[in-house]
Structure 1
Amino acid sequence: MTQTPKIPAAGLTRRHLLAAAAAVPMAGLLTRRAQAAEFNYKLATGQDPTHPVNIRAQEAADRIREATKGRMDIKIFPANQLGSDTDLLAQVRSGGVEFFNLSTSILATLVPVAGIVNTGFAFPDYATVWKAMDGQLGTYIRDQIGKAGLVAPMKLWDNGFRQITSSTREIKTPDDLKGFKIRVPPAPMLTSVFKSLEASATPINFNELYSALQTKVVEGQENPLAIIASARLYEVQKYCSMTGHVWDGYVMLGNRRSWAALPEDVRAVVIREFDASGLSERADIAALSQSLRQDLTAKGVTFLDVNRELFRAALAKTSFYGDWRVKYGDEAWGLLEAAVGKLG
C-alpha cells in the first residue's frame, strides 16, 4: 500500500507537496485494499494531487480504514477525474459518488445560501472566518445543505482567500477592473462581485480554465495561491494582485442514502477523521498562502499589494450588499454580520 508522507501542518511546503504527489500516483491517491471492505466509497475532488485537500483526505481515508478494521475503504479521485465540478455535484446527488469535496462558491448553484461565505470583502482574516464557519453561520449553511437532499456533517475545509491574476494588466485599483475579461467559477456571488466592479466576468468550469487563459479567451482569473500554484496557472499569468476579495471554503458533501447506510460507529469515525484532516488542511493553506508568494515570484509572477479598502468602498457604493441581503434573507445575513460586522 502506498503511504502518503506524514507532514506536520505547519511545515507543509511546496517541496513537500511535490514529494507527496510523487509518492501517490494519479491513479488515485487510490489505495489498494488488502481485503474486501464492507463499504467501498468514492471521494471526488477538483484539486490536483499536490493540493493539501488530497494529501489530507488520503491521510483521513487511511485512518478511517485502520480505525474501522478494514470495513470502510474510501478511494480518492483527484483533479476532476470523474467530471467537472458541476458534473460531480449531480453525481453526489444521484449516488454516482458517495463523497465530493466542493467549494462553497460552486455549491451555491444548488444551495444558494452557501455562497454567503463568498460575500465580497466580508472577511478580513482567518480568525473571523473560522468564528463564522465553526459557529452559527456554518451550522445554518449545513442545515440548508441537508434540506437540498445532501449531507454535510463535517467541518468546512479551507480554499483560501482569492487573489486576482492577469496576463495583460496590473490590477491596482477598482478602476483597473473596468472591462477586464476575468474568468470566474460558475458561481453567482463571484460573478456578482466582478460585475458590480464593472469587470467582464465569464463563468468557466475549472477544468477548462488553463486553456481559456492560454488561448486568451479571458485575460485573467481569481483563485487562492494554492490553486494558482498546483494548477500551474503561473505559466499563463503575469501579475497577481493580493485583493483577498473573497474567502472560499470547501464542503465535504455526502450522498444521503450512502451516508445513512453506514452504521453509526462508522459515521462517527468518518466525521472524526475528516475533521482532524480538515484542521490540518486549514493550517496547510494558511502556511502556503505565505510561502507560495515567494515560490511564485521565482516562477515569474509579479505580485501587487493593493489597498483592499478601496475595493470594498467601491463595492459598497453599488447595490451589491443590499441586493445580496435581500436574496439571502435577514436571518442568514444577520448571522454573517454577527461574525464580520456591518456590511454595506
Structure 2
Amino acid sequence: MRSKGFVTVVLILLITSVMLAAPRYVLKFNHVLSPTSPYHEGFLKWAKAVEERTNGDLKIEVYHSAQLGVEEDILEQIRAGANIGQNTDSARMGMYVREIAVMNAAYFIDFMGAKTPEEVMEVLQKIKNSPTMQKWLKELEEKYGFKVLSFMWVQGYRHFFTNKPIRKPEDLRGLRIRTPAAPIWQESIRALGAQPVALNFGEIYTGIQTKAVDGAELVYENIYSGKLYEVLKYGSETGHILLINFEVVSAKWFNSLPPEYQKILVEECDKAGIETSLKIMKELDAYYKQLVQEKGIQIITDVDKKAFMEAAEQCYRVLGLLEARNQLIKEIRGQ
C-alpha cells in the first residue's frame, strides 16, 4: 500500500501543475455578431495569437451573439473594472467623448482621402497616432474607464437599398430610411436627404412590407442574411458610411497587466483587425453583392458622390463636428 505521504505529494504535484497551466489573466470578449461572421473568426485569431505570445498566461474567451449580455450593460461592467471586452463603434464611444463619433459620420473616410481598402487602413493608423485622437482616447480612459485596444476593424461600406433608384440627394427626399438610433447616424441620413427612422434590424423586413419605412442603409451582407431582397429592388452604391468598430476593455483591468502583455494585446488586435477588414472590403463585399444581384437586386452605380459629399457637410455642422473632422484631416496629412 502506498503511504499517505506519497498520496499527498502526488496531489500537491497535480494541483501545482494545474495552477501552472491556468492563465493568470482572462479577458471575456463579447460581440453581437453570429459565429459565422468574419469578425468572430477574426476575434478567434486574435485570441489565439495572444495566447501563443504569452505562453497561455493571457487568455481571451470570445463570446458571440451577445452571450454575455447587451452592449449597454457590458460597457457599464467595463467601466467598473471587470475583465470584459466589447466590440462597439465610434458612435457609441461618442456618447462619452462627443468628438469620437465623427468617425461614423457620412463620408468621413472619404474626407480623409482614403479610396482603396489599403488606404483606409493606412488612414485609420494615422488617425490613431494623431495628437487629437490620442487626446480623445486619453479622456475615454481617464474619465470614463475605457481602454480602446484598436479601431482597425471595419465592416464595409453602407449603401441605400430602396424600391426606387437613388443617384443624387434629391432622390431621397420624402423617403423614410431605417438607420440606427445614434445621433451621428440619424443626422448623417437626414443630411443626405432622407428621413431617418430607428428600427431594430429584425424589424426592417416587416417595416418595408407595411410601408413604415421605404428602405434601409446597410451593407450587402445584411441584405442577403436578412432576405431583404424579397422586399427591395435597388441597391444604390452611395458608400456613405464605412462602419468603424472599436474594441474596448476596462482601463483598470488593462493597466493591471504586465506592460509586455498590454503591448501584445494591442498589437495582435490591430493585426487581426486589419486582416479581417481587408478580407471584408476586398472579398466579402463583392461576394455578397453578387448574391443579392442573383436574388434580383438591381445595382445603381452612377451615383453623384460629389453631390452626396457636399450634402453630408450639414451633418458635421449640425452636430458641431466640423472642427474635429478638419483637425484630423490636417494632422494625418501632416504625417
TM-score, scaled relative to structure 2 = 0.78
Task: Provide, for residues 177-202 of structure 1, a one-character-per-residue CA deviation record: whole Å limited to 9, x for no partner.
Answer: 12222122222222112222342212
Question: Residue 129 in 1 paired to residue 120 in 2?
Answer: yes
In structure 2, how many angstroms separate the alpha carbons of the residues matched to 1:238 and 1:87? 38
* Percent of paired sites with the same residue: 23
In structure 1, how many angstroms separate the alpha carbons of the residues matched to 2:60 and 2:139? 25
Q: How many corresponding residue pairs? A: 300
* Contact 1:48/1:230 (<8 A) preserved: no
Question: Residue 194 in 1 paired to residue 184 in 2?
Answer: no
**Residue aligned with 1:248, SS:** strand
> Which letter maps to 1:333?
N
In structure 2, how many angstroms separate the alpha carbons of the residues matched to 1:235 and 1:83? 31
Greater helix percent: which structure? Answer: 2
2:179 counterpart residue number: 184
1:174 counterpart residue number: 169
Question: Residue 58 in 1 paired to residue 44 in 2?
Answer: yes
Report how far residue 143 of structure 1 moved.
Answer: 3.7
1:255 counterpart residue number: 250
> Which letter maps to 2:191?
S
- 1:334 alignment partner, one of 324, 327, 335: 327
Task: Provide, for residues 263-320 of structure 1, a one-character-per-residue CA deviation record: whole Å limited to 9, x for no partner.
Answer: 222222212221221121121111222232112212332222122123223445xx44
Report how far residue 173 of structure 1 moved.
Answer: 2.5
In structure 2, how many angstroms separate the alpha carbons of the residues matched to 1:185 and 1:310? 23
Question: Residue 161 in 1 paired to residue 157 in 2?
Answer: yes
Flag structure 2 segments of 5+ consecutive residues without an equivalent. 1-19
> Which letter maps to 1:246?
I
Flag structure 1 segments of 5+ consecutive residues without an equivalent. 1-33
* Contact 1:105/1:114 (<8 A) preserved: yes
> Which letter maps to 2:124?
M
Structure with the greater alpha carbon radius of gyration: 2
TM-score, scaled relative to structure 1 = 0.76
What are the residue-to-residue correspondences of 1:72-221 with 2, within 5 Å? Answer: 72-95=58-81, 98-124=84-110, 125-126=115-116, 128-136=119-127, 139=130, 140-148=132-140, 149=144, 150-166=146-162, 168-204=163-199, 208-216=200-208, 217-221=212-216
Report how far residue 231 of structure 1 moved.
Answer: 5.4
**Residue aligned with 1:152, SS:** strand
> Structure 1 68/122 Cα, relative in aligned 2: closer, same or farther at 3 Å?
closer
In structure 1, how many angstroms separate the alpha carbons of the residues matched to 2:225 and 2:250? 28
What are the residue-to-residue correspondences of 1:20-35 with 2, within 5 Å? Answer: none
